[in-house]
């Protein structure tokens, strides 16, 4: 099986030095990539630029690493490769906003207060999955908080909007940790129930789900 796995946070630049990002460390995506490669699958990891040097050593053979920076970078890399893959695991933490007009040089504090106008970014998974074939499988991730029923309902709605096959629902507590309280949902119901698992264990279960293994 040929898999694309995305991992890590996007960056949206404010000026030539500063950027908006999030706290994702890419652990979940890298764990899925490693589990898939160890199971003998060919894996392309679209990995956040800032994680390439630290995360690459944790990956194995059968793995190709392609860096990305912005949401547009990630979308472009996915569109270029999606038709050739059998499955996509979208574990990257994609930013929801970008600067309307990034500054062309470093901003100075001496200029005083600065107002930044943010615009919503395009939904990368929805854009890519618009060209999804019936024989391709996509798994997206949703970070939610609140009551379990509310989180599940939000995640299912997001999964349907993106035309994904499965959604992994977890909470903000998982960010930066080696374990995650998560569940996996499909349109037909609960595939993996809510439980605390190591990210390595969850990664193996995701790979088994993709390949139809127990």
- Whether the CB-CB separation of 13 and 102 falls below 8 Å is answered with yes
Q: Read off the pLDDT of residues 117-175 as tens digits, 9 standing for 90 and up.
A: 999 999 999 999 999 999 999 999 999 888 889 999 999 999 999 999 999 999 998 88
| Domain positions in the chain | 2-96+119-211
Residue 48 CA to residue 50 CA, distance in Å, equals 6
Considering only CA atoms, which of 46, 92, 42, 78 is closest in space to residue 63?
Answer: 42
Q: What pLDDT is recorded for position 58?
A: 65
The first and second tokens of residue 19, run together, are 């950027």
Considering only CA atoms, which of 210, 175, 176 is closest in space to residue 192?
Answer: 210
Average pLDDT per block of 10 residues along the chain, 214 residues long = 97 97 94 94 95 71 92 97 97 96 94 93 95 95 90 92 94 89 94 95 96 64
**DSSP secondary structure, 148-160, as one string:** HHHHHHHHHHHHH
CATH class of 2-96+119-211: alpha beta
- Whether the CB-CB separation of 126 and 162 falls below 8 Å is answered with yes
Cα 211 to the center of its chain, rounded Å: 20
204 to 38, 112, 162: CA distances (angstroms): 10, 51, 24
Considering only CA atoms, which of 39, 40, 63 is closest in space to residue 52?
Answer: 63
Instruction: Return phi, psi of residue 68, to 5°.
Output: -140, 160
Taking the complete model, does pTM exceed 0.85, yes or no? yes
Q: What pLDDT is recorded for position 173?
A: 87
Residue 159 CA to residue 169 CA, distance in Å, equals 10
At 51 the three-state DSSP class reads: helix
DSSP state of 57: G
Q: Is 11 exposed, middle or buried (0-12, 13-18, 19+ CB in 10 A)?
A: buried
Q: Work out the angle at residue 16's Cα, subtended by the Cα atoms of residues 106 and 102, and round it to the nearest 5 degrees.
A: 90
Residue 22 CA to residue 45 CA, distance in Å, equals 19
């Amino acid at each position: 099986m040929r898999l694309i796995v995305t991992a890590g946070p996007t960056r949206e630049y404010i000026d030539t030095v500063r950027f908006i990002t999030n706290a994702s460390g890419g652990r979940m995506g890298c764990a899925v990539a490693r589990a898939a490669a160890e199971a003998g699958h060919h894996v392309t990891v679209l990995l956040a630029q800032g994680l390439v040097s630290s995360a690459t050593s944790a990956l194995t053979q059968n793995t190709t690493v392609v860096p990305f920076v912005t949401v547009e970078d990630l979308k472009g890399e996915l569109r270029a490769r999606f038709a050739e893959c059998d499955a996509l695991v979208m574990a990257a933490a994609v930013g929801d906003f970008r600067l309307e007009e990034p500054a062309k040089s470093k901003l100075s504090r001496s200029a005083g207060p600065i107002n930044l106008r943010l615009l919503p970014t395009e939904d990368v998974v929805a854009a890519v999955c618009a060209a999804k074939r019936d024989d391709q499988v996509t798994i997206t991730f949703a970070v939610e908080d609140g009551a379990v029923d509310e989180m599940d309902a939000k995640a299912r709605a997001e999964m349907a909007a993106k035309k994904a096959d499965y959604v992994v629902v977890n909470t903000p507590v998982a960010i930066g940790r080696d374990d995650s309280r998560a569940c996996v949902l499909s349109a037909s119901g609960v595939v993996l129930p809510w439980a605390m698992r190591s990210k390595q264990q969850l990664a193996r279960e995701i790979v088994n789900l993709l390949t139809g293994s127990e």
